[in-house]
Amino acid sequence: MKILSVLGTRPEAVKMAPIIRLLRETAGIESRVCNTAQHRQMIDQVLDLFEIQPEYDLDLMREGQTMAQVSAGVFTHLDPILGEFNPDWVLAVGDTTTVVTTSLLAFYRKIKFGHIEAGLRTHNKWHPFPEEINRRLATVTADLHFAPTAWSQGNLLREGIEPEKIFVTGNPVIDALNYVAHQEEPKEITGLLNTLGITDHAAKRLILVTAHRRENFGQGMENICHALRQLAQREDVEIVYPVHLNPNVQEPVNRILSDVKHVTLLPPLDYLPLVHLMKRASLILTDSGGIQEEAPTFGIPVLVMRETTERPEGIEAGILKLVGTEPSRIIREAKRLLDDPAEYTKMAKTANPYGDGHAAERIINALLSTSRG
Ligand code: UD1
């Protein structure tokens, strides 16, 4: 069986990595990888960490690229690869421009498409933009749907997908997380935390921040930055924010948060140091999807700076809370957790509803059994 795994951004590489590693060890499978390189530096770090050398690299990233430009690049350059390799299956994860264009190309060539992280929904066309529509389109073209949870499976069933085409696998991000969380804490993180005075029992607490979503560009990012600026007035916190390379993120963050006491802005971190920083955080403020899935493993409360989430399982479990981007709300919710130990303990639970670290096995078993059947 020939399988082509396609990825293009950092989170796709993290989530596909455990599957690609296991595919190459599985007898009877010829596995190849195509990196559209919708991201460049950010994805290369992840591929190095997981020791993956893609057979194909479309090298599509351009400074300030539009979604249309990325799409045009994938259409032009992935199609001949599908023609030459002629895989039995194409796999992709999630809801980016890379995923939606890949799923369409597979359809045009009548190659089966396996959609990983299928069935996530906000049911709001514009939130997140453009991901909600990208993942719905990927569902329409997919032949197998690897839903991370029973909730995402339910969404697919309600949309009329045949039950036998859906496999509940957990999210492979937890497989990836387990791979790096057990590795030693990188020296750069130990050094940074020592410099900031964050030791295990210190009165100072680490707040880890990430924010990069398209629907937060403009006013949302401005609001988030102003909220952080105010939170940083507290003497008992250190805010660490690795800043995404997108210019729409870089500009407001650097303008509002450079040289603010108790705020450390970093370049995007490699996955290994990011996971270790997450482990040491007392609180996470984020608009990222992956971090919502990862943080429950470490029992760290997450305030989600978005209006909607396609990952309600963590909210129901009480580990995540949606707080939007209004500065007063972000500050109020953060203070509640920092100042009220009972509120903090209520949210700091270590059960992870998104996966158990065995998603890659389940996905590959499903591919093998479907092909045999
Ligand atoms: C994309 C995905 C989003 C995902 C996010 C993860 C789409 C529509 N969006 O958004 O779902 O959550 O990736 O990061 O596919 N850049 C670099 N180096 C890099 C990566 C990005 O310089 O390694 C800069 C470039 O200027 C690039 C810009 O960031 O043009 C935006 O990258 P792009 O892939 O268009 O969108 P993201 O905002 O990263």
Query: Residue 201: which pLDDT band, with cuts at 50, 70 and 90?
Result: low
CB 243 within 8 A of CB 265: yes
65 alpha carbon – ligand 1 mean position (Å): 8
- Which tens digits make up the pLDDT trace of 25-54? 999 999 999 999 999 999 999 999 999 999
Whether residue 140 has pLDDT greater than 80: yes
CATH class for the region spanning 2-170+358-372:
alpha beta
Per-residue pLDDT, 151: 98
Is it true that the peptide bond before 128 is cis, omega within 30 degrees of 0? yes
CA distance 204 to 287: 24
* Per-residue confidence (pLDDT) for residue 373, from 0 to 100: 65
Any atom of ligand 1 within 6 Å of the Cβ of 306: no
Whole-number pLDDT of residue 203: 79
pLDDT tens digits, 279-296: 999 999 999 999 999 999
Structure tokens at 233: 């007035």
Across the chain, what does the average pLDDT equal? 96
Instruction: Return the H-helix or E-strand segment holding 87.
Output: none
Q: How confident is the model at residue 200 (pLDDT cuts 50, 70, 90)?
A: confident
Q: Return the exposure string of 253-267: e unless at least 16 CB atoms fall within 10 Å of the residue's CB, then b.
A: beebbeebebbbbee
Helix residue spans in 125-260 (DSSP H): 131-141, 150-158, 172-181, 187-196, 219-231, 247-257
Comparing CA positions, the residue from 312, 311, 300 lying closest to residue 347 is 300
- Cα–Cα distance measured from residue 16 to residue 19, given in angstroms and rounded to the nearest whole number: 5
For residue 254, what are the contacts with CB-CB under 8 A and spacing of at least 6? Answer: 243, 265
What is the rounded distance in angstroms from the CA atom of residue 234 to the CA atom of residue 81? 54
Q: How far is the CA of 139 from the centre of ligand 1 (A)?
A: 22
Instruction: Kindly list the catalytic residues.
Output: 95, 117, 131, 212, 214, 244
pLDDT of residue 349: 82
Choice among 194-208, 232-246, 318-332 with the minimum mean pLDDT: 194-208
Atom 29 of ligand 1, nearest CA residue: 246
The residue whose CA is least distant from atom 22 of ligand 1 is 245
In the chain, DSSP finds a helix count (H) and a strand count (E) of 16, 13
User: Of the CATH numbers 3.30.70.890, 3.40.50.2000, 3.40.50.450, 1.10.3720.10, which one belongs to the domain with range 186-347?
Assistant: 3.40.50.2000
Ligand 1 pocket: which of 7, 9, 35, 102 to mutate (most atoms <8 Å of CB)? Answer: 9
HEC profile for 100-141? HHHHHHHHHCCCEEEEECCCCCCCCCCCCCCHHHHHHHHHHH
Distance CA 129, CA 307 (A): 12
What is the per-residue pLDDT across 292-337, written as a single tens digit (0 to 9) for each? 999 999 999 999 999 999 999 999 999 999 999 999 999 999 999 9
Contact 183, 163 (CB under 8 A): no
Tell me if 267 CB under 6 Å of ligand 1.
Answer: no
Domain ranges of the chain: 2-170+358-372, 186-347
Cβ-based neighbours of 92, under 8 Å, separated by 6 or more: 5, 6, 7, 12, 16, 98, 99, 102, 103, 113, 114, 115, 116, 138
Confirm or reject: Cβ of 210 under 6 Å from ligand 1.
Answer: no
Of 37, 141, 149, give the one whose Cα is nearest residue 89: 141
Q: What are phi and psi of 241, to 5 degrees?
A: -130, 105
Tell me how far apart the alpha carbons of residues 160 and 296 are, in angstroms, rounded to a whole number: 31
Backbone angles phi, psi at 266, to 5 degrees: -125, 160
Are 332 and 231 spatial neighbours (Cβ–Cβ below 8 Å)?
Answer: no
Residue 290: name the closest of 355, 223, 361 by CA: 355
Question: How confident is the model at residue 214, as a pLDDT?
Answer: 92
pLDDT value at position 371?
A: 81
Minimal CA–CA distance to 23: which of 90, 100, 101? 90
Does ligand 1 have an atom closer than 6 angstroms to the CB of 9?
A: yes
With beta carbons less than 8 A apart as the criterion, state whether 349 and 299 touch.
yes
Give the SS3 label for residue 92.
strand
pLDDT-above-90 percentage for the chain:
97
Any ligand 1 atom below 6 A from CB of 35: no
| 37 CA to centre of own chain | 16
Distance from C-alpha of 113 to C-alpha of 307, rounded to nearest angstrom: 31
For residue 350, pLDDT over 90 is answered with no
Round to the nearest angstrom and report the end-to-end CA distance of the chain: 13
